[in-house]
Amino acid sequence: MTSRLFVAGVLVAAVIPAPVAAAAPAAAHQVTYTVTAQQPVSADIYYRDVDPPTWADYSHNPYQFSPKVTVDIGPQQPWVLTVQLADPDRWAMVSATRGRLPAEPGFRCELAVDGVVVATGEGPRGALCSLRHW
């Protein structure tokens, strides 16, 4: 009888799959955004500080995942923000602009991932830094 119970237990164990371990969440990367300008200016800066759950969620409302700040920047007054992103290749982004101005402030941005600068951008009236082509 004991051997029949043992065999039955082995058969049941072979039929019922073992629980699958949940995939470990992606390790977060430190993403640092830096924005400056050649001339002092009040800049509108959009940036990504969270990974959207899906592309569909992002597409439905990109501004939900792209906060905007208006800050004064200049040659000796950068705006710097460090965030944690699981997939910076897909989501890291910072842009700076300031509507119509009589002068060109000369924006410059820099995007670093885990301490390594991976993208830069510059322009007379705006700049975009991203690893992805939007």
Of 49, 99, 92, the C-alpha closest to 70 is: 99
Question: Higher pLDDT residue, 97 or 1?
Answer: 97
Per-residue confidence (pLDDT) for residue 25, from 0 to 100: 58
What is the percentage of the chain residues whose pLDDT exceeds 90?
A: 71
The helix (run of H) or strand (run of E) holding residue 8 is helix 2-15
pLDDT in tens, 30-80: 999 999 999 999 999 999 999 999 999 999 999 899 999 999 999 999 999
| Backbone torsions φ then ψ of 34, nearest 5 degrees | -135, 130
Domain segments of the chain as ranges = 25-130
Q: How far is CA 120 from CA 34, 50, 112, 113, in A?
A: 9, 20, 9, 12
Per-residue confidence (pLDDT) for residue 10, from 0 to 100: 43
Which residue(s) pair with 34 in the sheet?
Answer: 80, 110
With tokens 């710097």, the residue in question is: 80
| Check whether domain 25-130 has CATH 3.40.1350, yes or no | no
Helix, strand, coil tally for the chain in percent (to 5): 20, 40, 35
Helix (H, G, I), strand (E, B) or coil at 102: coil
